[in-house]
Chain A
């Protein structure tokens, strides 16, 4: 009997194991499609763009045109102004040297006025600084900063960061006065990752030796591309001889050429975009860095970053739209809100104290140095006394 019982148990165990194995096999087949779907779909729910032109002065017209062209493209592909942080270091449209006042063109044909209507510049002129740029990225902005100047992204946001200006080996110049290094940039991205401020980032930069700028990035889910490798300059595409300055840079020009053919329904992938780069046209070697990025590039749609295409996710569940449930939902959102607050508040208080501390320092600099010297001189006096008493 005992033997019989043991056999029965053994039999059950074996069947269970077999069942499990079989089910595992069938599941694996299912999983492949799930995984495939997971990677090909962006997994993001909102899109943001940070577009930065770091150079001033009339002869840098093309950098402003570059940035405004990008601005126009991302807007065309559906990112609303509220989700675009546009930083322009100068106002060439209203420069007295502009033969066509209040316009910015990116082509000598002057078909399209980039400054035409509905351009919202969030940071302009001297507001475009390294500090402000990093504050925008990391979200450490002053409490009184308006919403339009904040990057209010979350862990489901895809962010396009586009920069242009004059750069060098591992730095990009801001305004002729300061520069951001590739390390600063990498650390800013890491902070964003730690604070769950993005889901994926596409970092695009058009400047001399641009590829060095993304070399230090170490945070996950970041895809980077630049116009030229170490030791290479990045050139302008052509100039408008009536305006008298170059109007667009080559890298941006060929990017735009590709992007102009993309619309919101387009299935073009970033791989297609990167494949379209032709060093002999661009006159420099564009680079792509995808080692931190998890999805295969041929599965990533261009509109994942340059546009805001809302994916419709079908769920098996059904939402009850009765009153009680709505109340419940509100509760949930309340909790979220409080969580959000509790996350924010310590930082705020920390910042305010640190600021106070800073102010205190500034004030004390004026008054405390003199006592320092007096103390020093008293010390000297004691020293002299000692010395002379020895003599």
Chain B
């Protein structure tokens, strides 16, 4: 790393830090963002966390109010923060974002080292790979990230855990890697599906070193289970009962809170007849998890890419998604910058994201405040948002495979490939 790159990094992080600090200064911005349903959900809302914290500090079981649905360890964390001045809460969120971005640069570097042995396209030999600081910058200045950070949505801790899990797995630190993934699953359940790509990362390395794969897998799974049960036990000791399981994971899985969000669940389950509810709940949740296996199998040589895909799928199909989830998978995306030239719908997806960001507040306003619209307006726009995400993921997958195909079949690269 040259001095120049250090300066770039410093500039990017400094700018990101100052921008966030300044924006945090305007309390009406953070309040508005903190109440936007696109940004915070019942399972990530800071307001609800404050409610739980208040109950907890006053000796009332925090989950009794029915408003708080977050992991107990967050309570402990924020109780500690409560002893410090208010500014530290804001700093925590800002710093979490910055740390996340920093590890993102490390991941990028490791990915580039990892792939330097991979064959590449002839035309790529001349061009330089993406600067890791740019990856961090793209994450830090993504409007979704900034909005999510300013809203003090606790999804940021899940995102950080996932990034750390990826980092340590790439570093081949089995124990830490599994711990952070367990932490992410503990915080918001869905990252459970990321266990597979993480294990694959660890195995790929072990394979190259000629270790026994089976024992490797078992040890990974064991570590994951161990850490997770450890975290759960810790939580049990913290709040003194197992109520939190139902209040957190129960809420995520059974969807009792139908507050609108950018996902697909809420409208569907508002309209649902009660007798079909359990069935469709199972279908929807299984649908979210079902991608885990085929994606990991197909991309077993590119576990980092399957990490990207799965976090994208998570951001689309989880029960309480927010734009904070999208910011995570969009952070992974530039790491594979070499596939961008293969992507066909950049213009479309960019436009869809722009339209959604503008239209969703407008339609929500028409529905809730002006009274001239209705829920269908907002749901239509969440559908468009979802479709935009899906197009991006499908397009990225296509680009990845097409590039690989071109690498292995250099003489065929002039041909269009059609799936029969």
Contact = CB atoms under 8 A, between A and B. Distances in A.
Q: Do chains A and B touch in the complex (CB under 8 A)?
A: yes
B406 to A, nearest CB: 25
Q: Max chain B CB contacts within 10 Å: which of A369, A385, A389?
A: A369
Contacts of B217: 385, 388-389
B155 to A, nearest CB: 22
A373 B253 contact: yes
Contacts of A372: 278, 282
A35 interface: no
B282 A376 contact: yes
Contacts of B286: 376
Interface in B309-349: none
Contact of A370 (B195, B196, B213, B250): B250
A15 to B, nearest CB: 75
Contacts of A391: 203, 213, 297, 300
Given A365-B278, A373-B285, A388 B199 contact: yes
A389 B297 CA distance: 12
Contacts of B214: 389
Given A370-B254, A389-B217, A384 B281 contact: no
A386 to B, nearest CB: 10
B221 A385 contact: yes
Contact of B253 (A365, A370, A385, A387): A370
A380 interface: yes
A369 B281 contact: yes
Contacts of B221: 381, 385
Contacts of A380: 289, 292
A387 B285 contact: no
Nearest to B216: A388
A383 interface: yes
B194 to A, nearest CB: 12
A380 B292 CA distance: 10
Interface string A117-133: 00000000000000000
A383 B294 CA distance: 12
Nearest to A362: B274
Interface in B259-290: 278, 281-282, 285-286, 289
Contacts of B253: 369-370, 373
B353 to A, nearest CB: 32
A389 B220 CA distance: 13
Given A384-B293, A391-B300, A369 B285 contact: no
B246 interface: yes
A126 B195 CA distance: 53
Contacts of B297: 387, 391
Contact of B293 (A365, A370, A383, A389): A383
Interface string A261-282: 0000000000000000000000
B254 A369 contact: yes
B165 to A, nearest CB: 17
A367 B205 CA distance: 43
Nearest to B213: A391
Q: Is the interface of A mostly helix, strand, loop or mixed?
A: helix
Contacts of A365: 278
Nearest to A383: B293
Contacts of B196: 384, 388
Nearest to B256: A366
A380 B285 CA distance: 12
A212 B278 CA distance: 36
Contacts of A377: 192
Given A369-B254, A370-B250, A373-B285, A387 B293 contact: yes
Contacts of B278: 365, 369, 372
Contacts of A387: 293, 296-297
A383 B282 CA distance: 17
Contacts of B195: 384
B269 to A, nearest CB: 13
Nearest to A372: B282
A162 B313 CA distance: 57
A372 B283 CA distance: 12
Nearest to B225: A381
A373 B293 CA distance: 18
Contacts of B281: 369
Interface string A347-391: 000000000000000000100011011001100110111011101
A214 B196 CA distance: 62
A365 B282 CA distance: 13
A373 B246 CA distance: 12
Interface in B194-210: 195-196, 199, 203
Contacts of A383: 293
Contacts of A373: 253, 282, 285
A369 B280 CA distance: 12
A250 B253 CA distance: 55
Contacts of A388: 196, 199, 203, 217
Contacts of A389: 214, 217
A48 B253 CA distance: 53
A377 B293 CA distance: 13
A381 B281 CA distance: 20
A196 to B, nearest CB: 33
Interface in B236-250: 246, 250
A391 B299 CA distance: 12
A389 B214 CA distance: 7
Given A369-B278, A370-B250, A387-B293, 8 more contacts: A369-B254, A372-B282, A373-B253, A383-B293, A384-B195, A387-B297, A388-B203, A391-B297
28 contacts: A365-B278, A369-B253, A369-B254, A369-B278, A370-B246, A370-B254, A372-B282, A373-B282, A373-B285, A376-B282, A376-B285, A377-B192, A380-B292, A383-B293, A384-B195, A384-B292, A384-B293, A385-B217, A385-B221, A387-B293, A388-B196, A388-B203, A388-B217, A389-B214, A389-B217, A391-B213, A391-B297, A391-B300
Closest 9 CB pairs of A and B: A388-B217, A373-B253, A369-B254, A369-B278, A387-B293, A370-B250, A384-B196, A391-B300, A380-B289
